[in-house]
Amino acid sequence: MDESWIDSSLTEVFMEAASGYGYEDVTAEYAEFDELRLKWIRHGDWARFFVSDYLKEAPKEVMASIAETLMRKICCAGDAPYSEPVCDWLTGTGFVERNQPVYLRRKGGMVPAEEGVHKDLRASYDRLVSAGLLERDPSTFLAWDTDYDGPGAGRFSVLMRVVSVSSKLDDSSLSDEALDFALYSLALNIDLGFAPCRKKTEKEYAELFSAYPEAKRLAQELAQLGVSMRRCPPSANTPLHGPTMTPASGH
């Protein structure tokens, strides 16, 4: 378990939410997770919650709503979407300004876009914006990811506004067009926004991805470097979830 500390105010919020579901002995503590997530242990009427410290500046009403949503998910008490106040706070500029530097430090392996050897991610992003394929977001951090060893083009975090492209694509043999497509497949998620807060659907992501000019040819070029252009829809990157933010689970 990452370093954590019990917080009386946080415990009070989770106690209030959990008591409505039959829990009587409740504690909650902040933990230094690298991703934005919640974890929990529960047995009988006892529950212990571990909350990402990225949330430690959240107003009480926001944390109370998060706690209530989590309890509904844990207890399968019907649909449990994140509330509008939660979404507004998570997508506000203050959240990114406070947490993005911490996120980058904890994740490690991310080299700023400008430090590529053969390719320039910033220039790639500019081309996508100029072509009208992405909207410029000054808060988005572009990086080469030296730790990523998956089959795709890289990783992204919608809430932290981070796009990290596999460093294997910093290759002189790769065309700029193929690099742009790879970056687009990740940055499009940032463009579409935080999934629980928006009306855009996975279908929209798939349509935009598939409509990319010469997508098939560019995917074949990327495959030669071992990169699979499997779609990664926004729902795969929602917060309070596990690695690369898959649905929240207990342990």
pTM > 0.75: yes or no: yes
pLDDT digits 0-9 by tens, 109-152? 999 988 899 999 999 999 999 999 999 999 999 999 999 989 99
pLDDT of residue 201: 63
Interatomic CA distance for residues 212 and 136, integer angstroms: 18
Interatomic CA distance for residues 232 and 229, integer angstroms: 9
Q: What band does 198 get if pLDDT is binned at 50, 70 and 90?
A: low
Of the CA atoms within 13 Å of residue 76, those in its CB half-sphere come to: 0
Interatomic CA distance for residues 166 and 159, integer angstroms: 20
Say what percent of the chain tops pLDDT 90: 73
How would you class 27 by CB atoms within 10 Å of its CB: exposed for 0-12, middle for 13-18, buried for 19 or more? middle
Most confident of 7-11, 31-35, 177-181, 243-247: 177-181
